[in-house]
Structure 1
Amino acid sequence: MTAPDRPGLPFAAAVGGLGLLALVAVVVLSGATPQPAPAGLPDPGPVVGWAIPISRFLSNLLATATVGFLLVAVVLLPSGERLEGLAVQAVRIASRTAWGWLAASLVFYWANVADLYARPMHDVGIGQLWDFASVFATGRGLLVQALAALVVALWTSWTFSVRQLAICVGVALLGISAVGLTGHSASSGSHMLATASLVLHLVGVVLWVGGLIALGWVALRRSRRLEDAVARYSTLAAWCFVVVAVSGVVSASVNLGSLGGLDSTYGLLVVLKAVALIGLGAIGVAQRRRLRSRGAGFARFAILEVALMTVTFALAVVLGRTATPVGEDVLTTPAELLLGRSLPPEPTVTRVLFGFYPDGIGLAVVGFGTALYVTGLLVMRRRNDAWPIGRTISWFLGLTIVAWATFGGLGQYSSVAFSLHMVSHMMLSMVAPIFLVLGAPMTLALRTLPGPRRPGEHSPRSLLRDALHSRVSRFYTNPIVAAVIFLGTLYAVYYSGLFESMMRTHSGHAFMELHFLLSGFLFYYVIIGVDPSPVRLSPLARFGVLMLSVPFHAFFSVALMSADVVIAESYYQALERPYLTDLAQDQYLGGGIAWAMGEIPLLLVIGAIFVQWFRSDSREATRSDRAADRDDDAALEQYNAYLAGLSDDASRR
């Protein structure tokens, strides 16, 4: 540890020590202390029983600190293209905490294997370690987290580039999210809702707490840039508070089942976490008011807030190992296990149009899409800047289609019948992205994101601008690449057995929904071309790419209608649905729907390209008229003189 880091050592030791004490106290008071196994049964021992919560707590705390110090270096502290001063020291600390995160994650993995096989940790073999990852989703999630920690630890050891460290933040958050895909939600109803809410809860907490821990370190260093960092962090903390509060309520409601679940140990821990969250919000509001009135005093409130957050971390660790009131017998039939809910009744027009099922991925996309776009509109309004109403209408129309295709009536039946799944697919990949692209979200973000606080600083706006014009973006916005992703995955998903594999897992189905939406957004981002892009096509070139892609989609639809093999037959047979029992006919109907609906986006995009073409010609004509007014039609006079010269030459000949 170098000399500049020493002022933060007591702070780090106090945070870790307080958290461990709180963890032990919560474990003891909740009755979750390791108990010896009954006589005759194998017992992993008290070491394993205590290693699991302690290593998990340390893993969570170190992961949070890693993200926090990277966040301070990349976003909160003013820096140029390469970091300088205190930001460099923050990256060095992040590298050390990432190595600690890796070590704690491996110990947690090891202790879970020992607990699973009921043997001491020193008696766990390589075979058991491998089986835990190959058989159990929890093991795979922990390995992904450990891999992410390793990547971040290595990456932060040799780079101080703002762009690359921003990618490191994303890698760390992905590793943390991988663990959120396993847990209580895996064995209860409303799986997708519980899983999505848990992932959002984790990401929100990590950004919130991590940023505060790192800012506490900055305050202890008495940095003159603390005020700028705190001002930008306050906005992030407000967003995180809302995300954590909403996702926590949703997750608790799924796992508690009803208000009667509050009488259980799990319910008591949930109440304590809620009280801590309310306290954190109150402290945050008091912090803002104090800074606005006095301009100082951040360190005192920050230490109090970090202490309360650390205790909350301890509650979360014990909560994760406490049985929920919603038992594992909620899902019993094969259909319920596959769908994560009971089989819906026979589809009718009313049910498909107006039904509702709380799909977590769809709710997250629509919720964040609405909140971020409205925030951008409010920023534009405060600055008295104009924003076309047509773009706003288009954006929210696209979100409405996404809502219907994911958590509306169509989404409810998309995993039950292939024909309705194909309608959902068309809506997510070919209809909704058109309206979302016409909403120009990147343009709105570039006009409303925070800019540099001093000349040469890398701000959130510049990071987005650099990402849009990077080599990666140039590759994916190549019209050939975008078309291959958009159309090629049709054949890859449905004719390779991948579709059935993804439909059998909740995460696979969620990934498929996101892929359809993002691949369609990318394709129409290139074709329609409203937002900034490193590859700009003329309207005629866009129309040509669109026309070349139409036959591939039509051929896919015809092949689907004429196929002799039912796609994902065993999956649909396992559902044992009492309606739409003819699987071949349902698949034929799905192919016909795909063929017929392929004409709708074609007409919409042709209309959009025609309007852009007309506006482009109008702007060019306006520029020409203005240039003619400035030089008294010099270009026209020169052209007329040229024609007159040609006429004289012809007369002489």
Structure 2
Amino acid sequence: MPAYADRVEAATSTTARADGRGDVRAAASARTRALVLLPVAGAVAVVLGLTFTGAAAPTVVGDPGAAVRWGLPVVETLAELAASLTLGALVLAVCLLPRRVASTAPARGGARPRPDGAFAPADGSAYARSLVLAAAAAGTWTVLALVQLVLTYASVAGRSPTSPTFGDELALFVTQIDLGRTLLSVVALAAVVTVVALLVATPTGAAWAAGIVLVALWQQAQTGHAAGAASHEVATQSMVLHLVGAAVWIGALAALAVLGGRLGTDVAPAVARYSVVAGWCVAGVALSGVVNGVVRLGGWDGLTTTYGLLLLVKVALFVVLALLGLAHRRRTVPRLAQVAPAGRWLLWRLVLVEVAVMGAVSGVAVALGSTAPPVPDEPLADTSPAVLVTGHPLPPEPDLAQWVLQWRWDVLTASAAAAGLVVYLRWVHRLRRRGDAWPWGRTASWVVAMLTFAWTTSGGPAMYGHVLFSAHMVQHMVLAMVVPIVVALSAPVTLALRALPARSAQVRDDVSRGPREWILVLVHSRWGTFLAHPVVAAVNFAGSMIVFYYSGVFEWALRTEVGHLAMIVHFSLAGYLFVNALVGIDPGPTRPAYPMRLLLLFATMAFHAFFGVALVGGEALLVADWFGLMGRPWGDSALRDQQVGGSVAWGIGEIPTVALAIVVAVQWTKDDERVARRRDRRVDREGDTEMDEYNAMLAGLADRDGGPTR
């Protein structure tokens, strides 16, 4: 790989002496083979993996037949690759591919330099094709997901699809069994993506379609190894991160290879932007892979099993992919703009090597999913009430030490907190490297916010919030009141707008959207403006608590991972919008006058007090078949604990509110002082024209009334 870029340069000089049309045909042929190599490599890898593990061997009882035993893993591999290509093509349309030229005139810092020194405006012709490619991949995914559904039922039921009653049994499977309903939802979502990708034509529409794909991948993550009841949530969340990271990484590169002939002058910026995204995908796949390996292997001895050896093969292929990507980023991407279009056929041929390895990784992953891990997928032997209700053993009686020491990692939120720290600190470093200042207090606020967020979602509040209403209220109030205050004081949006390069600096001489453009779109969109309005933010912040706790949403958040994650996102975002409207630094809302801010704050404080008092005096237990069935040998009764939770809502809710009121008062005072100083400077410079005009008005009134009164 060190000679990778040199080979590209050699190809350029050779092309200059050879017939360019032959090289262009070679490039087109290499790109066409991307659609063949990816599924073929995946299918071959899964067959070899199944042969090695023996996972496709005939079963003694209920054997569905060789076609099902071998066909299901192959179809599953092809379906995952189709889903990856769908998501990858949509990601290209969302933020990577230039869409159309904003201006053909060469502007300073705008158009891209060509090898001859002239300026080449963005092409943009590949953008529309990326959406067509996404629709075609989604249609293929729909068909494969439907076949996977049929073969999955045949496998779990031990029935051949040719059985006379197979159709009736399949209907019951997709309507009465969770696995069947989940697989059917994936088919339906893939079909919806097919239609949406054909209808949309903008990055916003592509983002909505990509969101649907993410929902389908979340559903798909529910169908893999549960890794035992005790680790089901960790395994599922890590699998979601693994599937999404791998899908974007594999799918976007495959889509670039297929669309290479349409990229034209856009090839260099498109590949450079993809390289950044791929780096984050590598980190996500590596982290989630480690978590999955630890959960499923159960220890170092697990590596000596058939499953462990196959996992080592997957790790080796992953390392090869990561090294290829690193070579691209360091050697190829910086020189790609100087390579003549006809000479880029070597780039696409070498990309095909990556695509083939990616297909092999996907096949090995499916083979792993078809092989029993060392940690069996068996329910816990513990049949205590807490395990039966929550799926987790009851934690010890809470005290100050336990609130600090008890942890059950939430992979998604912990990863989000870690990524937030890395990105924010990199932005600060970028500002200081170019000579711009950024207050250290804002950086400290962000670090505190991310650490507090991680502890609240994975530490003591998360552990005890699952079994105690009072602890759940602690988690809720910290997420909605404490974390948003320090986030607002750290001004992450302001930092992003200053640190992220603008369109011209990113060589975005088109209307594509990078991170900075997406932030501006979200801040200034109709929904963003509406939700950030101070009154709307206050109503959302206070009113959503009533809707959440006195409806079925609360139980949904307790019983499902999706509901729990939705609760975290909603109340964290609602709290940030409310605090930012009052004391924030970030752009967005049109902030009211300071008296109105205090009025909104005190109204919210009164609502919190009312909500807390209602819980303290309440005699009806919320979600009684959850909190009332824990069988705790320690602590208060469930109803008494709920009343304590009302006190928590009142107390924790009021303390940050008072702090906010103090901040608003201080800002009000400083604003008055700034206004006074500006007026004094104007008076020193221009004279006190306002006072002179006022005295003149009084003098005029006196003259009109016949002189001064004695």
TM-score where L is the length of structure 1: 0.91
Does 2:158 match 1:135? no
- Find the counterpart in structure 2 of residue 321 from structure 1: 370
Hey, what does 1:355 align to over in structure 2?
A: 406
Q: Is this contact kept in 2: 1:529–1:536, CA < 8 A?
A: no
- Separation in structure 2 between the aligned mates of residue 269 and residue 647 of structure 1, nearest angstrom: 100
Change (3 A) 1:400 1:21: closer
How many pairs were matched up? 647
In 2 relative to 1, CA 221–512 (structure 1 residues): closer, same or farther, beyond 3 Å?
A: closer
Q: Shift of residue 93 of structure 1?
A: 1.3
From the superposition, tell whether residues 350 and 150 of structure 1 become closer, same or farther in structure 2 (CA, over 3 Å): same
Where 2:88 maps in the other structure, the secondary structure is helix
Q: Cα offset for 1:574?
A: 3.4
Q: Secondary structure at the match of 1:325?
A: coil
Percent pairwise identity: 37
Aligned pairs (5 A) from 1:437-586: 437-452=488-503, 453-460=507-514, 461-580=516-635, 582-586=637-641
Alignment partner of 1:14 is 2:37: yes
What residue identity is the alignment partner of 1:418? F
Aligned residue for 1:386?
Answer: 437
Q: What is the match of residue 140 of structure 2?
A: 100
- The unaligned stretches of length 5 or more in structure 2 are 1-24, 103-122, 340-345
Matched, 1:405 2:456: yes
For 2:299 and 2:664, locate their aligned partners in 1 and report how far apart those are by CA, in whole Å: 52
Give 1:301's match in structure 2, choosing from 323, 339, 350: 350
Query: Conserved in 2, the CA contact under 8 Å of 1:205 and 1:244?
Result: yes
Larger radius of gyration: 2
Q: Is the CA contact (8 Å cut-off) linking 1:185 and 1:194 kept in structure 2?
A: yes
Displacement, 1:535? 4.3
Is contact 1:110-1:129 (8 Å) kept? no
Contact 2:94/2:203 (8 A) holds in 1: yes
- TM-superposed deviation, 1:651: 4.1
Of 150-159 and 224-233, more deviation after overlay is shown by 150-159
Choose between structure 1 and 2 for higher RCO, CA contacts under 8 A separated by at least 6 residues. Answer: 2
Counterpart for residue 88 of structure 1: 128
C-alpha separation in 2, matches of 1:182 and 1:649: 90
Structure 1 residues 105-135: Cα deviation after superposition (integer angstroms, max 9, x where no partner): 2222222233333333355436644543553
Q: CA deviation at 1:60?
A: 1.1
Secondary structure of the corresponding residue to residue 223 of structure 1: helix
* Greater Cα offset, 246-255 or 391-400: 391-400
* Aligned-pair CA distance for 1:283: 1.1
String of CA shifts for 1:547-573, please: whole Å, max 9, x gaps: 222222222211111122222333234
Question: What residue number does 1:370 align with?
Answer: 421
Shift of 1:308: 0.8
- Contact 1:7/1:220 (<8 A) preserved: no
SS of aligned partner of 1:189:
helix
1:6 CA displacement: 8.3
Letter of the structure 2 residue corresponding to residue 375 of structure 1: R
2:301 counterpart of 1:252: no
Following superposition, the deviation at residue 309 of structure 1 comes to 0.9
- Whole-Å separation in 2 of the counterparts to 1:465 and 1:529: 17
- Contact residue 128 and residue 201 of structure 2 kept, 8 A: yes
Secondary structure of 1:121's aligned partner: coil
Give TM-score scaled by structure 2 length.
Answer: 0.84
- C-alpha distance in structure 2 between counterparts of 1:185 and 1:431, whole Å: 34
SS in 2 for 1:79: coil
Q: Does 2:106 match 1:65?
A: no
Match among 298, 318, 325 for residue 284 of structure 1? 325
CA contact (8 A) 1:190 1:340 kept: no
Greater CA drift, 192-201 or 639-648: 639-648
The whole-number CA distance in structure 1 between the counterparts of 2:167 and 2:530 is 45
Matched, 1:79 2:99: yes
Aligned position for 2:68 = 48
Instruction: Give 1:630 shift.
Output: 6.3
Determine which of 431, 448, 469 is the counterpart of 2:482: 431
Which segment drifts farther, 371-380 or 120-129? 120-129
CA contact (8 A) 1:81 1:162 kept: no
C-alpha separation in 2, matches of 1:130 and 1:527? 54
**Shift of residue 446, structure 1, vs aligned partner:** 2.1
Matched, 1:31 2:54: yes
Judged with a 3 Å threshold, the aligned counterparts in structure 2 of structure 1 residues 469 and 18 are, in CA distance, closer, same or farther, namely: same
Which amino acid in the other structure matches residue 31 of structure 1? G
- Contact kept, 8 Å, 1:566 with 1:583, in 2: the verdict is yes
The 3-state SS of whatever aligns with 2:376 is: coil
Q: Distance in 2 between matches of 1:130 and 1:623?
A: 76
Letter in 2 for 1:190: S
Correspondences of 1:630-641 after superposition (within 5 Å)? 631=686, 634=689, 637-641=692-696
Query: Structure 1 stretch 167-176 or stretch 95-104: which is displaced more?
Result: 167-176
| Cα distance, 1:74–1:425 mapped onto 2, change above 3 Å | closer
**Greater displacement, 613-622 / 147-156:** 613-622
Contact (CA 8 Å) 1:417, 1:580: kept in 2 or not?
A: no
Seen in structure 2, the aligned counterparts of structure 1 residues 630 and 78 have a Cα distance that, compared at 3 Å, is: farther
Aligned partner of 2:158 in structure 1 is 118
One of 281, 306, 329 as aligned partner of 1:265:
306
Find the residue that maps to 2:198 and give its secondary structure: coil
| Deviations, residues 493-541 of structure 1 (Å, cap 9, x unaligned) | 3333543453234444344333332332333233334222154433332
The alignment partner of 2:478 has SS state of helix
